[in-house]
Amino acid sequence: MKESPKKAIRKKFRDARNALPVNEIIAKSRKIAAELFRLPEYAAAKTILYYVSFGSEVNTHEMIKASLKAGKEVFVPITDIKNKCLHLSRISDPDAELAPSTFGILEPKRECLKPAEKKIIDLIVAPGIAFDRDFNRIGYGGGFYDSLFAETEARAVKAALCFEMQITEGIPAGLTDRKVDIIVTEKGSRRRS
């Protein structure tokens, strides 16, 4: 059976990202953090939802700590596999409050849960495997962020973090796929007009 175009793109870019040396991921993640912190949308945001990075993703751990230090209210997602959605929890001390959970991703420990409504989020910092110049995104295939984007469409700015090598041409988008508003890489940021 032929592989779907999305699956093929997902594999190609995940493999390429996984091949990046750790020191390169760290260095580029710092540049991406600086670009994110320069955005007017970041400056204006009081409430930020960050993905908690794992593996070869753009590292968000230091960004989360810097945002807390800057007085932002920080939230992280909790994966609800059964209902195919994300729930949010506020965090104030990631080192103490987070532990490996679904897929090995750090999520708030049960005793540290501080549930939050999605409608209060100003800025969503989202992950992805590949993006195109039309702001389409390919994630991990579960549709979790597409659902979140749909629920927060009217209010939250959606900023995706990725390495420049994750930008490609013509990602196939379906009816439930949602675009991001801003793509931030180590080379700068692009915004949807």
Angle at which helix 61-69 crosses helix 22-38, to 10 degrees, equals 30
Asked if residue 3 has pLDDT above 70, the reply is no
Q: Please state the φ and ψ torsions of residue 143, each to the nearest 5 degrees.
A: 75, 10
User: Model confidence over 57-76: pLDDT tens digits?
Assistant: 999 999 999 999 999 999 99
The CATH number for 5-191, chosen from 3.40.190.10, 3.40.50.300, 3.40.50.720, 3.40.50.10420, is 3.40.50.10420
Task: Write out pLDDT tens, residues 148-172.
Answer: 998 887 789 999 999 999 999 989 8
Answer for the pair 107, 80: CB distance below 8 angstroms, yes or no. no
Q: Is the pLDDT of residue 23 over 80?
A: yes
Enter the tokens of residue 35. 């670009």
**CA distance to 150, 157, 165, 174, per residue, from 168 (Å):** 23, 22, 8, 17
Of 108 and 1, more confident: 108
With a cut of 70, say whether residue 2 has pLDDT above it.
no
Q: What share of the chain is helix, strand, coil (3-state, %, to 5)?
A: 35, 25, 35
Helix (H, G, I), strand (E, B) or coil at 172: coil
* pLDDT tens-digit series, residues 46-57: 999 999 999 999
pLDDT in tens, 107-151: 999 999 999 999 999 999 999 999 999 999 999 888 899 999 988
